[in-house]
Amino acid sequence: MTYEHTALQALSGAALAGLARAVTGVRPIWDGCAPGGRQRIYFANHSSHGDFILISACLSPQERGRTSAVAGADYWMAGAIRRFLSGKLLRTVLVERNWVERKADPLEIMRAALDAGQSLIFFPEGTRNMTEEPLLRFRAGLYNLALARPNVELVPCWIENMSRVLPKGAILPIPLLCRVIFGTPLVLGEGEDRKDFLDRARGSLLALAPKPQGSTR
C-alpha cells in the first residue's frame, strides 16, 4: 500500500476544503498548539461523515496533503462510488472494524501510514456518536498508536456543529457555522496504563467542547 499524494487528490482536497468553508464558514481555533509542524494524529469527536473534511479544511495545503483520515472499510468499500471516493479522491486509511471477520490488523495499517510519513485524522470512539452523550467510550486504538509511535504528536480536536450540518442519512449539507478547536497535544506517560490514558485523552477532548449556556466549569 502506498500513500503518494496525487495531483487529483490535491485538487479534490482543495475543492472539498473550499466547499466546507463555504457551507460552514469553519473557523479553526488553535487553542493549545500551532498549525503544521510535526507529524500528528488529530483525534476528534465523531458524529458525521463530514467530520474529517472539516478538520482537513483547517489545515494548510501542505499539511492537508500529508494527512489522511482513518475510516471504516465496511462503509467506504461498499459500492464502486464509495471505493472511488475513498481510494482515489480522499486517500483514506481504511481499517476493518469487525474483529471477527477482518483479514488485516488495523493497527498495522495505521502504523504503515505513519511510517510512510502520513499524519492521521482519527476518531477514537470508533463509530459515529448518535446518542445524546457528548462522547462515547474511547476504544483502545489511540492508546495502541501512542504506544507504538511515541514521537507522533497527539492533538485533540473538538468539532462543533457538524452533526447538524450533515446529519445521518442526509445527502446535502445544511449551511451552519462550525468551528474546530485544536487543543494541547497529549503525551503517553511512562508506564501509564490503557484505561488511565484513554480516560485522560477523553477528558482532554471534552474540555474543548463549548459549555452549555448558563453553565460554569
Which H or E element spans position 113? helix 106-115
The confidence score (pLDDT) of residue 217 equals 45
- Answer yes or no: is pLDDT of 114 > 50: yes
Dist. CA 181–CA 193, nearest whole Å? 27
Determine the 3-state secondary structure of 10 from DSSP. helix
Determine the 3-state secondary structure of 213 from DSSP. coil
Residues in the chain: 217
Q: What CATH number does the domain located at 7-206 have?
A: 3.40.1130.10
- Contacts of 180 by beta carbon, 8 Å cutoff, 6+ apart: 26, 27, 28, 29, 44, 54, 55, 58, 157, 158, 159, 160
Dist. CA 57–CA 39, nearest whole Å? 17
Q: At what angle do helices 141-148 and 106-115 cross, to 10 degrees?
A: 40
Per-residue model confidence as pLDDT tens digits over 48-101: 888 999 999 999 999 999 999 998 888 767 778 877 777 777 778 999 876 656
The confidence score (pLDDT) of residue 1 equals 46
Dist. CA 135–CA 206, nearest whole Å? 8
pTM, full prediction: 0.89
C-alpha cell of residue 109: 495499517
* pLDDT more than 90, % of the chain: 58
Other Cβ atoms within 10 Å of 115 Cβ, number: 11
